[in-house]
Amino acid sequence: MKFPMTNLAGICTAAALVLMLGSNLVDIGRVHDALLKARGQQQVNLEVSKRAETQLDALAKGTKALADAGNPNARTILAVLKQNGVQVNAEAAPAAP
């Protein structure tokens, strides 16, 4: 069967379009996978950060309790923290996740 040139050009154009769209879909899938992996890593980092924040908060509250009991070293530590803009509130509830 003989195709006229106009049909051949249309078929080539359609084939090129299908190949281009297929390539774009593959690229989108790869980017999607990379984004999911990055999001998972951020979740791990967030959990580690929250754990460190909880530990630091407990240390600060313990230091404040020692300072309130009269420990001069704890008072010095609280003074340095205050100079650096850190406020320790022993009665504050932990931050919501």
Domain membership of residue 96 (yes or no) is no
CA angle 48, 95, 74 (to 5 degrees): 85
Task: At 9, list the tokens.
Answer: 């050009």
pLDDT in tens, 1-38: 565 566 888 888 999 999 999 999 999 999 999 999 99
Domain membership of residue 95 (yes or no) is no
**Count of structural domains, the chain:** 1
Q: What is the pLDDT of residue 86?
A: 84
Q: What is the pLDDT of residue 6?
A: 62
Parent domain of 31: 5-83
Cut 0.75: pTM above it: no
Domain membership of residue 13 (yes or no) is yes
Domain membership of residue 97 (yes or no) is no
Residue predicted with more confidence, 89 or 60: 60
Domain membership of residue 94 (yes or no) is no
Q: Which residues of 34-43 are buried (b: 16+ CB within 10 A; e: fewer)?
A: eeeeeeeeee
Q: What is the pLDDT of residue 94?
A: 55
CB proximity list for 32: less than 8 A, separation 6 or greater: none
